[in-house]
Structure 1
Amino acid sequence: MAQWGGVIAKNKLVANFNLQKLQFIVENILNDEYSKNLYLSAILNWVSPNKGLFITLYYDHIWKYYKSVNIAKSSEKIIANNYELYLYDLSKLPIIYMLDSKNPHNITNLDSKNPLKIYYSQYGIFINFILEQYAYRDLIRAESGDYVIDGGACYGDTALYFSHLVGEKGRVFAFEFVDENLEIFNKNMALNPHIKNIELVKRPLYVDSKTIVSYSGVGGGARMNKDAKQGIKTISIDDFVRDYEVEKIDFIKFDIEGSELSALKGAKNTIQKFKPKLAICLYHSFSDYVEIPLFLKDLLPEYEFYFDHFTIGLLESVLFAKVKQ
């Protein structure tokens, strides 16, 4: 530690993380060496002044395709929250295979007859549709026929990604409540009239279904603010599944800007009943790196856990879980 950040990095690590809990997670929760190493690397990346130094990505061989995303880009664009979002035809993305998979799959096998189209950014297209940040290798991913909770649907990019994977027999419940995001979400759905398996839920996810919240920030970084006198009423996954008589949940993805643990607490019954695969973002809070794995391990001991990180920056750290086979 002294070599790569000295006393400052060590003090930040001790101040922000419970070292005994970190050790327990590495030794008793994470299921493979890659996950253990990258989990610690991502945490060191937060506390060290040498950002990116600790991250060795499994996906290095794929980043060379980053610029090739522009093959799918048109000149048409819209402005969202002061950012330019270009129209992409995802059927034009390059054909890429996971090179060291036992069963190599084409991770950009999109239908040219019914192409997915989306207003989005080059980075977002690459992370979601090529790197597939909500899949862990070939072990954990949304599959044909799955019912998916897309918590934090933002512009609809992940909803379209999951829609493609689950197919006609699957369903995607896309949760988004920020007005500016919903405007772009609806534009992107209108580009894809053949998509029939996405259902929008305009409620913020939380531990209960009675808290009134507002929000601050824009785009994917919009955060929920509690204790608002006027705003939007939250909903829990458990209440949603019960009230809407959802017959099963196979996959839960949460990227909800720091509300992940609260939303997981509101999904306890659903997780225990259906034992869904999970992809939960951890990078919004230091405590989430520790408390979310511990909470889920206690909630469902049958889970196997994996961790991945998709950039050399601080963002895109995801905890994956599936029931042992």
Structure 2
Amino acid sequence: MLAGMPSSSSTGPIAGPGAAGALSDVTRDDASLRRFLHGLPGVDQVGCDARAASLGTRSIKTTAKAAAIDLAIEMVDLTTLEGQDTPGKVRALASKAMRPDPTDASCPATAAVCVYPDLVATARETLGDSGVHVAAVATAFPSGRAALPVKLADTRDAVEAGADEIDMVIDRGAFLSGHYLQVFEEIVAVREACGDDAHLKVIFETGELQTYDNVRRASWLAMLAGAHFIKTSTGKVQPAATPPVTMIMLEAVRDWREATGQMVGVKPAGGIRTTKDALKYLVMVNEVAGQDWLDPDWFRFGASTLLNDLLMQRTKLSTGRYSGPDYVTLD
């Protein structure tokens, strides 16, 4: 257990001032890693659900709401991950990411476009030097069930094609079986395959992790392995992102910075469809992790339909009228 760590916690910091030095030794073998992860304080499920619900009652009004909507747009990883995806669909999505509202040049671009690895080159060509990143899912997405050489080849192919960000999935079967060092080593290997050219987001598929304690353990495991972002879900399993699991992950990155001085980003993905939902998450980011995370470099929304609602609400604030259903393009 880390120096200064309390024996139990629901929402408070879980790492003490001596944590940074202690962390260097916890991954030396499977027993040490298991001891560390199971030494993390358990999550009070009732308290966690209650606090997440309480944060969801906060409201953002007038000019602050307009600024929050623009920030949410800038945080969107505009995503298409379907078997029927085509180069034409990806080009259209990339164009929308760069200019979400063609009628309003003041509307900000999204953070990234997220696609399968074989469509990275198409997205890269369309986005050019716009500043919108190309994210690619990899490592046998969404199951994570493939041999490590396959996962690494998948990652390298995406980076070579122009991906700025890799969204990998952990092997949930290995994690739930307690093979933590195996999961750790795979994350380390994938980060190395990203080289210096791509950031790594690690997807937990929280809907399959079964407990809030496992969400906390997965968060720390991924950060120990060098993740740049931790991400809730693939969007292919329900439940996907939820306020309680996102809050646990925000607590983890907050405590990680306290322990190490390093920031790690958070990305809830799947099921976030409305402006109201997005603003609730921004309130949670501010209240739990802090203002430093209110930045696309440190917080993202993985979404396909959220952007449309953000655009319609943005227009409502500027014109006083709701747009018709034909105002925005279908994704």
Which TM-score applies when normalising by structure 2?
Answer: 0.35
Give the structure-1-normalised TM-score: 0.36
The structure carrying a bigger strand percent of its residues is 1
More helix by percentage: 2
